[in-house]
Structure formats: structure tokens, C-alpha cells
Amino acid sequence: MKLDYRFQDPALAELALTHRSAGRPNNERMEFLGDALLGAVVGEMLFDAHPRASEGELSRLRAQLVNGQALAVVARELELGDGLKLGSGELKSGGFRRDSILADAFEALVAAVYLDGGFDACRDTVRGLFAQRVADLPRSSKDAKTRLQEWLQARGLPLPVYELAGSHGEDHAKVFEVTCNIAEPAPLCAAASGPSRRAAEQDAAEIVLGQLTEPLPPA
């Protein structure tokens, strides 16, 4: 593992890399905490880096950095797959290469740093991993749906399809769930929720854009 942090309690790092398929205890609870910590620290970084961005723009930028595929990329850079503890079924199916398992392990590892060294250590670690990623974000003022449409059109590819997956909540606080689907250059589907259908579509489009910027898996 290439994480630039030395654990006082190595058992926390080991637990963070223990998938539920390996039994209990495992990293599921730590994933929950790590997700919240990542959102807070990356949100702070974006808040500082984009002083004129609206709430919606900041949310879309964060979705581009903090999603399953993007976090799996970070996990691979840290070589977390080499240290994963998996059950026999996941081992046989190559679970150490799966985006969802790697992303969850990275979130759990962020929580492990927090539990071991406190918030400042966690914040410093996350900022070190995401500083260049924040700096590399495009500074386009166009919304995510427009940018996704233009990206596809420039390559002669079919436009995205947005579908309303559902909605829930009282009329004054309704939450809409939407998916954004593209067929090429590879089938991708992203789900997002928001206080309006349009807001959810924007967030889903941002996630797809983030996935398109990463290398596509081999056919």
C-alpha cells in the first residue's frame, strides 16, 4: 500500500481492507464514515478553489471527484487491491479488481486514518491525494448536461438518455431520482438524486463526464 500515512494502530488499516465477503468484522461501517469525511474535505477544497461557484456547481464538481469509478482509480494508485481481504468467492471472481470493492476500501481507509490520527491527519491525507485532481478540474461555466452533450456530439456519438427512476418525500421536500445513460463509447449509467428533476439530471451527467475522462476498461 502506497498511502503516505503511518498507522499507530495497523489493525485499523487491516480492517479497512477487509471486505464483507471475508466475514466479520469488516469495513462496512468504516465505509460510511469515510464517505462522509471524503465529502467534507473534498467539499472544502472545492469551496476554496472555486470561490464564485454556486452550490449546484460545487456539488457537480464533487460528484466528478467522489464517485465509485474515480475513487477506484485512487485505490489502484495506492495499490489497495494487493492488501484486500476477500472471501473465497470474491477472490475467485477477481474482486480485488472490481471498482465498487476498491472504492469502498478507499473510503474505509480514509475513516481508518481519521480513527487512528484524528481529523487533521485525515484532512491532510485526503488533501494530498486530491490536490492535483481538484486543480485539474475543467473551469467551464457550462452546465454538465451541455458539456456532456457537446462531448458526445464532437465525437459523433448518440446523445444521453435521462430517465426518471422515481421520486419520494412530501411535496415541499420532494427528492427526484434520475439516471443518465449513454451507449457509446462504452455503455455507462449514472444515478443521482436532487430536489428537482433538472438538478438530478445535472448531477448524473457530471458523474458520466467524470467516468468518460478515465481510461475505458479493455473490451
Q: Out of 35, 90, 116, 206, pick the active-site residue.
A: 35
**Residue 150 is among the residues annotated as catalytic for this protein:** no
The number of residues making up the chain comes to 219
**Residue 57 is among the residues annotated as catalytic for this protein:** no
86: CB partners within 8 A, 6+ apart: 19, 21, 22, 95, 96, 101
Q: Out of 57, 90, 99, 107, pick the active-site residue.
A: 107
> Residue type for 4, please?
D
Q: What is the C-alpha separation between 80 and 105, in angstroms, rounded? A: 8
Tell me the catalytic residues. 35, 107
